[in-house]
Amino acid sequence: MQHRIFIAGGDETLEVFRWSDDRLAQAIRETPQARSQIGAVYLGRVERIEPSLNAAFVEIGLGRPGLLPLKKQGQHPTEGSIILVQVRRDEREGKAVRLSATVHTETAYEQQLAHARAQGRIPACLVPPPNAWQSCLAALDPAEVEEVICDRRVDVGAVQRWCAVHALELSERVRHVPLRDWQPKRGEAEEEVAAALEDTVALPCGGNLLIEPVRTLTAIDVNSAAATRKAGIELTALTVNLDAAREVPRQLALRNLGGIVVVDFIDLENRNKREQVLQRLREAAAIDPAIEWVGNMSRLGLVEILRRRRGATLAEMWGGEECNGEH
């Protein structure tokens, strides 16, 4: 799997596009008001302990206290105590950010920590969350990143400095290309984004996917549609399922749909054919580093996928915005 990363920086909006084997697999639009907090380190104050949840609510300065589960934390903070925490999950669906007392980050926060305590600044953000291109690059194997293209020269230096610490071999593959000269064009990415904002995805064979995210999971229904007019029923079912298996991981990555995903493939009585589809699905999952697990296929054609939640969905980032074209 080879990836090409395109970064369009700006004072208010940062856009990152990831093309993987010439297919758009990620499109991030980040603004200061809608930036993921995952990875940020805070020095907070315990506001209250909730025994029924075995959790503490910690004030970190985000408007509402974050939730710190106490199970397996190895410590038992008291109300009013000062505690170092890291954001593990963004606020969503009315739920506060999820925190952890186990901090994984660079040691640079230690001096900031001492300074914050000395100045009495609590709560205080000691390490800001990574921006969109940092999160994108951190999730990929540097050996598989073919190049990183920056629209602005100033961003080339910033990316190279990050690579010097986190992915040294990638530094020499960062270069400046004005947005008007991008290949693929930004307009091509916009077309892919617009298509991914629809519920239905057309497949090459004539079938389609119906993608329906709900609060508890994401359901994906595989339909034969027009493909039934092209071949026999069994051949059609296998062909549609194989096309769907290749497309599902890409759609999950592009739409940034996390949590439990249930894919309802077309029924296949032949076990070997079911294994073919499952193998294709697992191979295609290489396009998405956030996919943590792909289950087996049931006799009814159901496959469960577990994908890590991180940041806003494509619809939240792009759904209310009109594509601006080249700038």
Q: Give me the pLDDT at residue 109, please.
A: 64
C-alpha dihedral sign at 278, 282, 285, 291: positive
Whose tokens are 């952890």? That residue is 100
DSSP letter string over 160-211? HHHHHHH-GGGGGGEEE--GGG-SS-HHHHHHHHHHHTSSEEE-TTS-EEEE
Residue 321 DSSP one-character state: S
| Cβ 285 vs Cβ 303: under 8 Å | no
The rounded distance, in Å, linking the Cα atoms of 310 and 38 is: 7
The rounded distance, in Å, linking the Cα atoms of 220 and 200 is: 10
The rounded distance, in Å, linking the Cα atoms of 134 and 131 is: 5
Task: Please indicate, yes or no, whether residues 237 and 306 belong to a single structural domain of this protein.
Answer: yes
Whose tokens are 């805070």? That residue is 42
Instruction: pLDDT band for 250, please (50, 70, 90 cuts).
Output: very high
* 322 assigned to some structural domain: no
Give the torsion through C-alpha atoms of 309, 26, 295, 96, to 10 deg: 10
Instruction: pLDDT band for 99, please (50, 70, 90 cuts).
Output: very high
* 88 assigned to some structural domain: yes
On the question of pLDDT at 172 being above 50, the answer is: yes
Q: Give me the pLDDT at residue 87, please.
A: 94
Task: Please indicate, yes or no, whether residues 180 and 300 belong to a single structural domain of this protein.
Answer: no
180: domain CATH number is 3.30.420.40
Instruction: pLDDT band for 233, please (50, 70, 90 cuts).
Output: low
What pLDDT, in 10s, does the model give residues 175-213? 999 999 999 999 999 999 999 999 999 998 889 999 999
103: domain CATH number is 2.40.50.140
Domain range for 258? 198-314
Q: Give me the pLDDT at residue 94, please.
A: 78
- Say which residue, 119 or 253, is predicted with more confidence: 253
Task: Please indicate, yes or no, whether residues 292 and 229 belong to a single structural domain of this protein.
Answer: yes
Domain final position from 73, 100, 126:
126
Tokens representing 88? 């593990």
The rounded distance, in Å, linking the Cα atoms of 161 and 131 is: 14
Instruction: pLDDT band for 322, please (50, 70, 90 cuts).
Output: very low
On the question of pLDDT at 235 being above 60, the answer is: no
Tokens representing 255? 């739409």
